[in-house]
Structure 1
Amino acid sequence: MHWQTGLILFIATIVLMEGFAYVAHRWVMHGPGWFLHESHHRPRAGNWELNDLYAAIFAVPSFILLLGGVQLGWWPGCTWIGAGIAGYGAIYFGFHDVIVHKRLDHHYLPKSSYMKRIIQAHRLHHVVETKAGNVSFGFLWAPKPEALKAELKRRERAGVRAPAGQNAPAGRGAPLD
């Protein structure tokens, strides 16, 4: 396979992974997979949480495609697709785990409107502690924070975490402003 075709497959896989991640996050992690993902919506005690198992689960297709494409004589595109899945995982780790959740110490301050928007959208996702009633399930693309705040208000802040040291009234969460 020509390297340019492979590069197109690699980039297309990264782009398509955002759609896959959205679907998995919204309907698996906030659905039947909540038993693992719930740990990610709670304060973390230590370096690991049950939600980290998703990284291992999502690495399996990448590993299999890379192995098949490089060692087992499968279609060469498998290598590029497997690398694209791994590339998306690396981008996800850098954005989600390092920049947003600061699992590695850093002093990065977002300057671009894009980075500010996706970080704020992810933080708005995390103000909801429950399985349902959440907003913003993407990782590299997110609606404007104003739209997300309006949607949370429309839902009467159901499941929104109370500010530290306060108890929210039943059915109501913290203010979003």
Structure 2
Amino acid sequence: MQTLLWIVVFLLTFTIMEFMAWFTHKYVMHGFLWVLHRDHHHKDHGSWWERNDFFFIFYALISIGCFLLWQYENVWIGLPIGLGIFAYGFTYFMVHDIFIHQRFKLFRNANNWYAKGIRRAHKIHHKHLGKEDGECFGMLLPPTKYFKTK
């Protein structure tokens, strides 16, 4: 029973992180912390590092905090939550930074329906250079219209 509960908490955390990514992206990154996210939309900074990368660090610290809660305070739920946040962050990094933005030249030939839909949605998001009028703030579950072919 404990293993099943651990798996449910892990999967629930991973799933909730997609909503957290959407919410953070829409209301924080395109809101009061636009100053950190702006360079991700304007590639005029001339650096591999973007201020936008601080958001990854924030969620990494939350994940580490959950691991520490589990390790030093013996709070069992800290481990599956920490791993769920880490797994989502790793997935987000692989999809967003490696697959879409090609920060490392991997997965360039992925061309299935899901890959195409993710690319379309992200391209629409980046067509807006300002913090207003944005759309497609999620990452792994964009609106279904981006998966349809004409």
Question: Above 0.5 in TM-score?
Answer: yes
**2:112 aligned with 1:96, yes or no?**
no
Q: Hey, what's the Cα distance between the residues in 1 that align with 2:98 and 2:54?
A: 17
Counterpart code for 1:36: L
Q: TM-score, with normalisation over the residues of structure 2?
A: 0.91
Is 1:46 the counterpart of 2:54 in the alignment?
no
Please give the alpha-carbon distance, in whole angstroms, between the structure 1 residues aligned to 2:92 and 2:31.
Answer: 21
**C-alpha displacement of 1:78:** 1.3
Instruction: Count residues in correspondence.
Output: 146
- Cα offsets for 1:111-141 (capped at 9, x unmatched): 3212210111011101110010111000001
**Higher normalized helix content (fraction of residues):** 2
Tell me what 1:158 maps to. Answer: none
Deviates more, 1:3-12 or 1:33-42: 3-12
RMSD, matched Cα: 1.7
- Higher-Rg member (1/2): 1
- Report 1:80-119 matches (<5 A): 80-119=80-119
Mark the runs of 5 or more structure 1 residues left unpaired by the alignment: 148-177
Q: Percent identity?
A: 33
Number of the residue aligned with 1:62: 63
1:107 Cα deviation (Å)? 4.7
Task: Quote the Cα distance in structure 1 between the aligned partners of 2:81 and 2:123.
Answer: 30
**TM-score (normalizing by structure 1):** 0.78
> How far apart, in 1, do the equivalents of 2:95 and 2:147 lie?
21
Query: Does 2:105 align with 1:140?
Result: no
Alpha-carbon shift at residue 146 of structure 1 (Å): 8.6
Gaps of at least 5 residues in structure 2 are none
CA positional deviation for 1:77: 1.2
After superposition, the Cα gap between the structure-2 partners of 1:72 and 1:38, relative to the gap in structure 1 and judged at 3 Å, is same
Distance 1:146 1:107, change over 3 A: closer
Cα deviation code 1:142-163 (max 9, x no counterpart) = 122399xxxxxxxxxxxxxxxx
Contact 2:99 2:107 (8 Å CA) reproduced: no
